[in-house]
Amino acid sequence: MNVVISYDIRDKRRIKKVAKYLEGVGVRVQYSVFLFVDVDKRKLKKIVREVLRMIESEDSIKVYKLDLRYVIANYDISEFIV
């Protein structure tokens, strides 16, 4: 399965801790967005549990399942600025 995990974390120390962990298991695609390709359900649950352990109730984490058959391209917005 392919997923994107994003977070909104208030505290800089927690941001660093979560980012460091996710960089070790996924691919950072933006500041607080990570891509996971071909991750199985068991591994994804482990990743999410670990992140939830690191964050507080004021923070949030989002997990989006992707169907890469429908991802046509990855564009940088600067390509569209004239």
Q: CATH number for the domain including 28? A: 3.30.70.240
**64 — pLDDT class (breaks 50, 70, 90):** very high
Bridge-based pairing state of the strands 60-66 and 2-8: antiparallel
pLDDT tens-digit map of 25-62: 999 999 999 999 999 999 999 999 999 999 999 999 99
pTM: 0.82
pLDDT(71) > 80: no
For the chain, what is the domain count?
Answer: 1
**Domain of residue 64, residue span:** 2-80
- What average pLDDT does range 63-68 have in this prediction? 87
pLDDT(73) > 80: no
* E-state strands within 1-82: 2-8, 27-30, 33-36, 60-66
Phi and psi dihedrals of 29, rounded to 5? -110, -20
